[in-house]
Structure 1
Amino acid sequence: MPDLAEINEPISELFHKPKTKADWDQYRLSREQIEFFHENGFIAGIKLLDEKQIEALKRALDEVMDPQHPLHHLFHEFHSNESGDPNKVLFHSLGHWRIAEAFHDVIWNPAFRMVASQLLGDRAVRFWHDQLFCKPAHHGGNVAWHQDY
């Protein structure tokens, strides 16, 4: 199995590949949504993933959470339970996009790309790194409030 970081384009059909301006326009935020974001610091109610994509990402999560995964060495970081408490699980990883097709291709999701571009002032968006936190319902650990760069 290859390191998916070596592939610089989508490798599945999970996300639509816009070819025309009209294809991209379906993902565009309204001027009101952008103004709301700049005033309030968030936007709610934007559909970024459909059910099929969510299911593919859930299957990929099951795959990458396996500490015995044959490509485990490609993770930049892997913690099966970062909380340290077996009753409060907090899975955390960086590099899963190098291992699972769904996580690899989600960075090309046109809905993500359009929204990010618009909120950054219509600039090109470039992937920096991935980070995944997974907390099981009702007994997951927590990530303390913090400020990233």
Structure 2
Amino acid sequence: MSGLLQMQCLPEEKDIRFFEENGFWVSPKIFSDEQLEKIIARQDRIYRGEFETGREPVCNWLEGVDNPRALRKTDNSHWSDSILRTVATDPTIGTIAAKLMNADVIRLWHDQLLYKPGRGTGKETANVGWHQDFVYWQNCKEPTLVTAWVAFTDVDLSNGCMQAVPRSHKWGLVNVNNFFEQNLEKQQAEMELPDNEVFKPVPLVMKAGQVSFHHALTIHGSGANATDTPRRSMAVHLMTGDTRYRDTPRGRHFNAQILNGNDGDLYEGDAWPVLYP
């Protein structure tokens, strides 16, 4: 991307203020249609177990082995494919994240390649339950993380676009969090909210190539894909340069296992590539 195009994608001061108040923001189109065509082809190769680098992701859905009607979630696809790595380490995404988080350094925490299959009926589910990403990242001392969700295809409510709850990043950790929960209404009914706050999700309707950004504490989820075509995306999870390891008895995230450090150590090194500066 040229310097001029990158500048056109960066958030203005009003956008940064919007992110700080609401916990999310959607960028203009960052990836071209030509780039997306190549990215999608590499996504399908991953599902066939074809790893360009010879290195497998942390976990992966495999064609002919796993349920073809289930949500597919592949962690650290950037280990396995050079094109997918360019998405996970895109400098424009890193620059936007730095501006939104007021950070001097942005590193990749990890990526998640996502595929929500098309159903056509609207009755079956491949929902993503209401959750805050930081719940799964308790091996970080502070919620100094942000997610860039890259749309490989157009997304709206019909195919299960992400929905984010404004201001929820100001609520701390809520009592209900489950990425795999299918009953979103039940989750919402059981959620304890701070006084004077409301749970009113906003659908993040996006064109292919746009990127949404949400804070690690922002509550988000998504409904079923009721269309005939799959919803494709990548969640690029990012961290500021001052993100440190927290030693906790809660299940250790694979990044904590890679670091194998002491309480308070920085997450830094080749395992977490720098996107910015």
Same-fold call, TM cutoff 0.5: yes
Alignment of 1:1-149 (within 5 A): 16=1, 25-67=7-49, 69=51, 74-80=56-62, 86=67, 88-138=69-119, 141-149=126-134
Q: Give the letter for the 1:148 counterpart.
A: D
Conserved 8 A contact 2:89-2:108: no
CA distance in 2 between partners of 1:109 and 1:26 (Å): 15
- What percent identity do the matched residue pairs reach? 24
SS in 2 for 1:145: strand
Bigger drift between 46-55 and 112-121 goes to 46-55
TM-score, structure 2 length as denominator?
A: 0.40
* Counterpart contact for 1:92–1:134, Cα < 8 Å: yes
Q: More helix by proportion, 1 or 2?
A: 1
| Residue matched to 1:6 | none
In the alignment, is the contact (CA less than 8 A) between 1:34 and 1:118 conserved in 2? yes
CA distance in 1 between counterparts of 2:126 and 2:75 reads 18
With over 3 angstroms needed to count, the CA separation of the structure-2 counterparts of 1:40 and 1:77, relative to structure 1, is same
The amino acid across from 1:144 in the alignment is G
Gap regions ≥5 residues in structure 1: 1-15
Question: 8 Å contact 2:57–2:74 — kept in the other structure?
Answer: yes
Counterpart residue identity of residue 35, structure 1 = R
Q: Give distance in 1, aligned partners of 2:57 and 2:107.
A: 20
The structural deviation recorded for 1:52 is: 1.5
Deviations 1:26-82 (A, max 9, x none): 44211011111111222235222221121111011111011365767522111348x
Could you list the runs of 5+ residues in structure 2 that have no partner in the other structure? 135-277
